[in-house]
Structures are given as C-alpha cells and as structure tokens.
C-alpha cells in the first residue's frame, strides 16, 4: 500500500525544472509572499528572544516555509490543523494576523492564546488551528479524535496532524494510526522530516528511516515529498486530502532542512558545518524566486518591493506585541478548569498571590 513513487518528484524539483504553465500568477506570488513573511517573522522572533522579549522555549520554522505554505494552499477553511511546538509559520499561513502571533510569543493579552500559551501553544478556533503541543506526540491522539468527530458528525473537512520525524517513534503515533486506519478517518499525518529530533538523527532513532513507510503495519498509504518545493507540497496535500475525504488516512513525509538549531538556544554543535551550509543552499524561498523570475511571473523590482513590504509587516507585528498590555493579574487563574473547581483561587486571591510574589509591592 505504501508507495515510493513521489521520490521522483523530489528529483524533479531539486533540478529546478518545474513547469509553471497553467499556474495562476497571483497564487504563485502569494505563496512567495507568505514564505517570506514566515522567514522574516522567524528571524525576528529569534532576535526578540535574545532581547528577552520572549520567554520559555522557542522553535523556529526557518527552512520549512515551502512545506507550510504548500500545505495550507491545498486546505479549505473546513479543515482542522494540529501541530507540534514548531508552529509559528503554520498559524500565520493559515491567515491569523502576525501581530497576534508575536503578541503571544511576548506573553501579551492580545496574543492568540491570551498570552497564556507562548510560542509552543498557539491556538485559534476561528482558523481551525487547534495548537501548538509541547509534549512530543501530544497532538496525535487529539487530532485522530478530531478526525473521528468529523466522521461521526458527518461534517465536511479533514484533519492535518503535523509532527516532526522523531515523533514517529512515540507510542501514541502507532496507536493513533491503527485506529485511523481501522475506522477510515479523514486525516493526513504530516511528518516534517528535518533529519533530527533535537541532536538525534532519523537513522539513529527509527528502525524504518523511510518514515512514509511506517504506516505499513496498518496498511496505511504513505508518500514522500520534497518539502522545499511549495508546489510539490501543495499537489501532494491535495492528493492526500482527497483520499482522506474518501475515508483513507495517510502519511505525508516532507523532506525538509532545519536552518538553525533545534530551538533558539541550541548551539547546533552536533551537525557538520559543511552539511549545514549545503542544506541552507537549498533555500526554498530563493529557489522559488529563481523559478518565478525564469518563468517571468515576477521581475526583480517586485521581489524587492515584496521584501520591504514584508519587513514592514513584521515590524508592525513587533510594535503591536510590544505595545500590548500584559494579561491582568486578576485573570491569573482563569481558564484553569472548564468548570469551577473548589480549589481554584479567585480574583482576590490571585491579586494577593501576585503581590506576594512581587515582594508585597
Ligand atoms: C514526550 C516528550 N519527550 C521528550 C520531549 C523533549 N523534546 C522536545 S522536542 C524533541 C525532539 C522532537 O523532534 P522531531 O519530532 O523530529 O521534531 P522537530 O523538533 O525536529 O521539529 C524532544 C525529544 C518532549 N517535549 N516530550
Ligand atoms: Mg525533526
């Protein structure tokens, strides 16, 4: 049931021999803008972390822009998305304002999760963006349950459950795939293979390192796609989305490259600098720019203008986050439980606790 046929597409894209005839120029330009927006957003997020504007953990999508934008281009508003903690780009490409995302990273009240989640817990119900999970594999049973709900309630749409390569070694992955296949759920398991789970390579961690084949125990279809090629990614997602709608869940393995360390504080000493240089040279954004120029979809001036417009947009997102208020102390214990629990401190106690923490000031 698994297929290796997509490996041919990887080669074709790597050669840059992509056929753009029949493509809508406005769509192509939009993909480029979105990828650049994610790139600049992430670069600036890394910078804001070093300025201590962002606390906690922070993982960037640098190098994964084409995977994200290609994925979103093939989804509809009915679809639901669950991701791991490396998710800033996904929620932006899903249409949520970058300012609300940056504000969440800053822990501000105007953030998508009210400043309570931070980098790893982005959420927006209107966009059907269901998070942002810090526990490796935590999203997989939930996404599978959501796919079950869609089917049970006879609602339209499919679920995309994104994760990293190393996450396919977690027990919840195998349990969830079993049920998804058994119950013919409308779900795509997107595995972003960036070669590493922190400092451990795929080959060191997975007995079957060709991850798209790992569904064979459940007779689940799997495909591998070049995650640096936005159009190949869009096509693969569209194909597997159709299958999902017909009750055939699948695995989509996107081969990708992590431009920096695992998180913003990882010095990345375990990777060969030459391999990193080589990986970065396959930059999905500049490769797409070359394709657009070659096909005369855009001219140099448009690329420059787009670059400045994106800079401005990210700068505005930072300004918005900076100027936004912190969440009020009185709300500190809100949303801890879905319904009132006797041991939940109230607003007065929240104030007292906060004052005590601040040394009685
Ligand atoms: C259950 C659990 N175990 C360990 C960790 C620590 N941890 C955080 S990210 C990570 C690696 C995951 O790698 P991968 O799935 O390839 O995703 P990537 O970070 O490469 O996108 C680990 C082990 C965790 N967060 N949760
Ligand atoms: Mg990984």
**DSSP tag of 266:** -
User: pLDDT category, 88, cuts 50, 70, 90?
Assistant: very high
| pLDDT tens by residue, 14-38 | 444 467 889 999 999 999 999 999 9
Q: Where in the chain is CATH 3.40.50.970?
A: 8-199+207-327
| Averaged pLDDT for residues 282-310 | 97
Q: How far is ligand 1, taken at its centre, from the CA of residue 1, in Å?
A: 29
CB of 166 closer than 6 A to ligand 1?
yes
Residue 235 near residue 10 (C-beta atoms within 8 A): no
| Averaged pLDDT for residues 191-202 | 98
Closest atom of ligand 1 to 59 CA is 19
User: First CA to last CA across the chain, in angstroms?
Assistant: 65
| pLDDT tens by residue, 301-322 | 999 999 999 999 999 999 999 9
Neighbour count for residue 287 (Cβ, 10 Å):
19
pLDDT at 1 over 80: no
pLDDT at 4 over 60: no
Q: To test the ligand 1 pocket, which listed residue (64, 161, 164) has its Cβ within 8 A of the most ligand atoms?
A: 164
For 8-199+207-327, give the CATH class.
Answer: alpha beta
Does pTM surpass 0.85? yes
CB of 134 closer than 6 A to ligand 1?
yes
| pLDDT tens by residue, 200-212 | 999 999 999 999 9
| pLDDT tens by residue, 49-68 | 999 999 999 999 999 999 99
Closest atom of ligand 1 to 193 CA is 16
β pairing state of 200-201 and 196-197? antiparallel
Distance of CA 93 to the CA centre of its chain: 9
| Averaged pLDDT for residues 238-266 | 97
In the structure encoding, which two tokens stand for residue 260, read together? 């920096």
Closest atom of ligand 1 to 163 CA is 15
Whole-angstrom distance, CA of residue 125 vs CA of residue 162: 17
pLDDT at 280: 97
- Using a pLDDT cut of 70, give the percent of the chain over it: 94
pLDDT at 334: 83
pLDDT at 360 over 90: no
| Averaged pLDDT for residues 284-298 | 96
Q: In the predicted model, what is the mean pLDDT of the chain? A: 93
pLDDT at 121: 97
């Amino acid at each position: 049931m698994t297929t290796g046929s997509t490996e041919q597409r990887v080669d074709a894209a790597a050669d840059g021999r992509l056929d753009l005839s029949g493509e809508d120029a406005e769509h192509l330009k939009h993909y480029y803008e979105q990828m650049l927006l994610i790139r600049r957003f992430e670069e600036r997020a890394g910078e804001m972390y070093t300025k201590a504007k962002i606390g906690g953990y922070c993982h960037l999508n640098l190098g994964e822009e084409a995977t994200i934008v290609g994925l979103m281009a093939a989804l509809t508003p009915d679809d639901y998305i669950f991701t791991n903690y490396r998710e800033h780009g996904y929620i932006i490409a899903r249409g949520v304002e970058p300012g609300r995302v940056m504000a969440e990273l800053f822990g501000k009240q105007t953030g998508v999760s009210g400043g309570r989640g931070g980098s790893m817990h982005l959420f927006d119900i209107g966009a059907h963006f269901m998070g942002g999970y810090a526990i490796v594999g935590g999203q997989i049973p939930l996404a599978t349950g959501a796919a079950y709900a869609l089917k049970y309630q006879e609602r339209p749409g499919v679920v995309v459950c994104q994760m990293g390569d190393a996450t396919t070694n977690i027990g919840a992955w195998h349990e969830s795939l079993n049920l998804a296949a058994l119950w013919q759920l409308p779900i795509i398991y997107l595995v972003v293979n960036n070669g590493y789970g922190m400092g451990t390579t795929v080959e060191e961690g997975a007995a079957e390192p060709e991850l798209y084949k790992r569904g064979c125990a459940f007779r689940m279809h799997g495909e591998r796609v070049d995650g640096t090629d936005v159009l190949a990614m869009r096509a693969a997602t569209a194909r597997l989305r159709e299958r999902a709608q017909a009750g055939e869940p699948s695995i989509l393995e996107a081969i990708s490259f992590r431009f920096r360390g695992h998180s913003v504080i990882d010095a990345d000493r375990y990777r060969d600098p030459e391999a990193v240089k080589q990986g970065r040279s396959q930059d999905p954004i500049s490769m797409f720019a070359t394709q657009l120029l070659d096909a005369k979809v855009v001219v140099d001036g448009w690329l420059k203008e787009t670059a400045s417009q994106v800079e401005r947009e990210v700068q505005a997102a930072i300004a918005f986050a900076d100027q936004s208020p912190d969440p009020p102390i009185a709300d500190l214990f809100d949303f801890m439980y879905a319904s009132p629990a006797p041991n939940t401190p109230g607003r007065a106690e929240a104030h007292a606790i906060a004052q005590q923490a601040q040394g009685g000031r």
